[in-house]
Amino acid sequence: MFSHVGIVFRDLKASGDFYRQVLAQIGIRLLEDHTQPDGTGWLVFGTGNSRPFFVVAAGRPSFWTESSRPSSSPAHIAFDAPSREAVDRFHSVGLGCGAANNGDPGIRRGGSYVAFLIDLDGNNIEATYRS
């Protein structure tokens, strides 16, 4: 299990607005906002427990090399959802916020109820409910 995952996006405001709305559908909320005046910074999302958490960022992290760029290689991130209804809301709200459909809500992988979206920067995000 991981402690946290962070992804750098091209536009912190647009990605922050997107993830606020989509993640709220599965019980994940904004915990910290470190947006800087120039639009860079980071947002921390989670359930309120200390870990795991998800970081949405913009700017140049200290570990990047000169050739590093936002969204140059899409990531796949799966979030646990508390119910099938939450997966449905995650998918519906995401589409309404500009995400592309990458898999309608439905049963997959041994009975899990799953939906997939492509976010504003091309990342494949997933909500999964395991009964």
What are the tokens at 4? 């946290």
Domain that holds residue 51: 4-59+74-129
On whether residue 21 sits in a domain, the answer given is yes
pLDDT 10s digits, 24-51? 999 999 999 999 999 999 999 999 877 7
Instruction: Give the pLDDT confidence score for residue 120 in this predicted structure.
Output: 94
SS3 category, 117: strand
Q: How many CA atoms lie within 13 A of 30 on its CB side?
A: 17
Give the relative orientation of helices 12-24 and 84-96 as an angle to the nearest 10 degrees: 150
**How many structural domains comprise the chain?**
1
Query: What is the CATH number for 39?
Result: 3.10.180.10
Quick one: which H or E segment has residue 45? strand 41-46
Quick one: which H or E segment has residue 101? strand 100-108
pLDDT 10s digits, 57-74? 888 887 778 888 876 778
Q: How confident is the model at residue 98 (pLDDT cuts 50, 70, 90)?
A: very high
